[in-house]
Chains A and B, each alone.
Chain A
């Protein structure tokens, strides 16, 4: 009974909110919650999945996302604040990072637009942030340039880099898992932004310098790269 009531309340709230986008995982809304600009991430039911599978997956991902975000926050990594979680509608209420845009958009529009951050310093910054996250043993699981937000600071101030979308994340200390995490980013990076190999190298160098356990991770990354399917294992 209580479940149905809270579900209805959330849906009522969302019906008045502004739908920002429908990602692969969830609908993202913008609204106001307890006086603060809020993003609501609603993992709606995927009709193509069997209901039992859908429920298990959706619940697991909601829980994983919230746990990882909190863990990152405690480690000092910039992530949105979690205001509220509802497990009936699988909705997460998060701080809205106002005035930001995705790293993907920044890279895609450079050098035509005057971005607040040049591409190379941006790549270095991403490397640093990921190093910090991995040192915390958080594996993001879905690293892409669409899952990183850049908020430009005041005129000559520091811009802030946020990580979002921790639905596929988990905790692991294994260099293999961190290497795969970087590999997922590398593939997403290079397929979305063609001809940016040098930029990604910059990112990796910055990661290697910033992380205390990077040597093993980079070694694993090299191994995983060779493992790609239908790829000649020579050289």
Chain B
């Protein structure tokens, strides 16, 4: 029996989760939400995390019905992500690990998403589309690495959506992406936007700068509504994502797709991916907002796998890093 607690706070969500041999015992989370038109800054986000993290930690233990002595390992997000929030969370993880006398494990955030997705959906060996505010990657496992087949060459798709939300002052509560999704459902007119796929990679900065500039003109001239813009933006960027996922699948001969990351909550994206999968007789796996969106349990799950395969992070190596490639990690728990 192995019980791991995971600490996650690389962006504006702070979550702490506890996993016992594949079972999620608790997974509380708080989100730092900014007013419409504003994004979240590293120092404010870290301040938010500092204010709530101990409360969330207590909740995690209480909801799991555990005491610190029951924990076998303390996992935390080593990176990638925003510097100040990462440091805040790592500091607490290091402290409790020393207080409780437990080993530490620094986990790659992207791998946390993948391992949680695998656990929840039981997908065998899927092509993974990892899409969030900070990351956009198409990943497939091969020879002890999660290899990146395709990715964004500039900004993440979630970042593109979030920044568009700021342009037309969409609320950030519960998240800008969720509100864009709801508005898109009411849109009907497709407005042509730049579409950029380069091989297996995508680029979103072009479509973002286009829509940032053109949105006000199109809206004030009455050419289209805000709902139409949300609809068109989703249709375009999601098509790009489905396309690079399909290319990776064709290249690897894969028959499974797993979507992880905050943008993976989007039902339209899941729907489009489902249509593509059906056409190729492939299976689609996705999770709900509890596990798509950054959470502590995913770090615990990846930590559980790493710990059981014999990995541990020494205190002097328990730093954080804003840049941490998914393929840098040796996946010792799979063959």
Determine the main DSSP class of B at the interface with A: mixed
Given contacts A52-B190, A229-B152, contact A188 B324 (CB under 8 A): no
Instruction: Please report which residues of chain A, range 129-153, place their CB below 8 angstroms from some CB of chain B when the two chains form the complex.
Output: 141-144, 146
**B235 and A22 form a contact (CB under 8 A):** no
State whether the Cβ of B273 lies closer than 8 Å to any Cβ in chain A: yes
Count of chain B residues with a beta carbon within 8 Å of a chain A beta carbon: 45
Do the beta carbons of B147 and A144 come within 8 Å of each other? no
A49 touching B239, Cβ below 8 Å = yes
In the complex formed, the residue of B with least CB distance to A139 is B198
B250 touches A53 (CB 8 A): no
Cross-chain pair count, CB within 8 angstroms: 97
Which one of A46, A187, A230 has the greatest number of beta carbons of chain B within 10 Å? Answer: A230
Q: Which of B143, B273, B322 contacts A194 (CB 8 A)?
A: B143
| CB atoms of B195 and A57 under 8 A apart | yes
Question: Which residues of A are found within 8 Å of B201, using beta-carbon distances?
Answer: 184, 187
Cβ contact within 8 Å between B246 and A24: yes
Do B325 and A188 have beta carbons less than 8 Å apart?
A: no
Binary contact track A119-137/B, C-beta < 8 Å → 1, others 0: 0000000000000000000
Decide if A191 touches B140 in the complex (CB within 8 Å): yes
| B261 contacts chain A at the CB level, 8 A cutoff | no
Known contacts A24-B243, A230-B323, A232-B323, A188 near B251 by CB under 8 Å: yes
Q: Given contacts A188-B149, A192-B251, is CB(A180)–CB(B198) below 8 Å?
A: yes
Question: Whose C-beta in chain B lies nearest to the C-beta of A47?
Answer: B275
Binding site for B on A (CB under 8 A): 22-24, 46-50, 52-53, 56-57, 141-144, 146, 168, 180, 184, 187-188, 191-192, 194-195, 227-233
Instruction: Please name 15 pairs of A and B residues whose Cβ atoms are closer than 8 Å in the assembled complex, sorted by A.
Output: A48-B239, A48-B271, A52-B192, A53-B235, A146-B250, A180-B198, A188-B149, A188-B251, A191-B148, A191-B149, A192-B251, A192-B252, A230-B325, A232-B321, A233-B323
